[in-house]
Amino acid sequence: MAIDVRVPTILRSYTDGQKAVEATGDTIAELLTDLDAKYPGLLARLVTDDGALHRFVNVYVNDEDVRFLGALDAKLGDGDTVTILPAVAGGAVLGGAVAGGAAALS
Amino acid sequence: MLAIDAAILEAIVAHARRDHPDEACGVVAGPVGSDEPARHIPMENAARSMTFYEFDSHEYLRVWREMDDLDEEAVIIYHSHTATEAYPSRTDISFAGWPQSHYLLVSTREPEVTEVRSFRIVDGTVSEEQVRVVNATVDSMAVQSYMFGQSPATVDYECRA
């Protein structure tokens, strides 16, 4: 089934500047794999080498954050809309744990 | 350069002071492409921390959809540092995902003086920019207690009223 995917500005370099694209899949993982086939490089910006959703990105199915729906295993149905937003976070903490993250989305 | 209305800047600083010692965060929306911050939207810091902030993911989606419906974008994304300077930390730079937004930082470490600085953060590179306060009225001289990143001589007050 075709799922409408909303892409944030920072990732549109991968989608030929398109704000919304279509992809197919029964789960978020399948959807992102299909997206990556159409727009190579996108997957690595969203999923870590360990196969988990990146800390630097929020992914929603309709109104719900996929972190509450099983993350990459979140199920998709006909007519669902997936929205990708870069996480807005930060702060004064000196975080070695998140260093190098800018490259994750840019 | 960031041009910001004095009343909006005061509201941002008041938000930062109210949430001190936790970090405060929010956005100022404006018409797409205008570079004019017009609508202040204080956001919840889902981390409720003195050293970290994060937009609540549901509020974030709701606010961004609303901006989309109104043909707005996030002209400013702001947050406070409550014990350190108003300069992007490594964490801030790691997360900065809106290259077209002004990243406004407010430091509330000093009780009497609020440090306000603005940056662009693009591909992990930080560029500081001048902050110009517009529409400052004579009786809101509280603005003078703000310390900007540049020398005071470069802060240009423009009174349209």
Q: What is the pLDDT of residue A104?
A: 42
Three-class DSSP category at B134: strand
Mean pLDDT of B59-75: 95
* Contact: A92, B97; criterion CB under 8 Å: no
* Cβ-count burial B11-35 (b if 16+ within 10 Å, e if not): ebbebbeebbebbbbbbbbbeeeee
pLDDT at A12 > cutoff 70: yes
Between B1 and B159, the more confident residue is B1
Task: Dig out the tokens for B136 from the structure.
Answer: 């400052």
Handedness of CA B55, B82, B10, A8 (dihedral sign): negative
Residues of chain B neighbouring A85 (CB-CB closer than 8 A): 60-61, 64, 97
| Residue to substitute from A93, A94, A98, A106, interface B, most B β-carbons within 10 A | A93
User: What are φ and ψ of residue A66, in 5° steps?
Assistant: -65, -15
User: Whole domain around residue B150: which residue ranges?
Assistant: 2-154
Q: Is residue B16 part of a domain?
A: yes
CATH assignment at residue B31: 3.40.140.10
Task: Dig out the tokens for B61 from the structure.
Answer: 């989606």
DSSP codes joined into one string, A27-83: BHHHHHHHHHHHSTTHHHHHB-TTSSB-TTEEEEETTEEGGGTTGGG-B--TT-EEE
pLDDT at B102 > cutoff 50: yes
Residue in B55, B93, B124 closest to A88 by CB: B55
Between B92 and A94, the more confident residue is B92
pLDDT at B10 > cutoff 90: yes
Three-class DSSP category at B65: helix
- Are B4 and B133 spatial neighbours (Cβ–Cβ below 8 Å)? yes
Q: How many domains does chain B have?
A: 1
pLDDT at B115 > cutoff 50: yes
CATH assignment at residue A78: 3.10.20.30
User: Whole domain around residue A60: which residue ranges?
Assistant: 2-105
- Are B4 and B131 spatial neighbours (Cβ–Cβ below 8 Å)? yes
Mean pLDDT of B94-119: 95
Of residues B21, B35, B36, B2, the one with CA closest to residue B130: B2
Neighbours of A48 (CB within 10 A): 12
Q: Is residue B134 part of a domain?
A: yes
Between A96 and B143, the more confident residue is B143
Q: Chain A, 41-60: which have a CB under 8 Å from a chain B CB?
A: 56-58, 60
pLDDT at B138 > cutoff 80: no
Q: What is the pLDDT of residue B48?
A: 94
- Which DSSP symbol is given to B158? B
Q: How many domains does chain A have?
A: 1
What ranges in A3-84 are assigned the alpha helix state H? 28-38, 42-46
Q: Per-residue confidence at B161, pLDDT binned at 50, 70, 90?
A: very low
**Chain A contact present for B78, CB below 8 A:** no
Residue in B53, B96, B121 closest to A91 by CB: B53
Least confident of A20-29, B34-43, B140-149: B140-149
* Residue B108, amino acid: T
Q: What is the pLDDT of residue B160?
A: 46
Considering only alpha carbons, which residue of chain A is nearest residue B55?
A88
Q: What is the pLDDT of residue A95?
A: 43
Mean pLDDT of B78-88: 96
pLDDT at B23 > cutoff 50: yes
CA A11 to chain centre: 9
Q: Which residues pair with B43 in a beta bridge?
A: B25
Three-class DSSP category at B16: helix
Q: Is residue B24 part of a domain?
A: yes
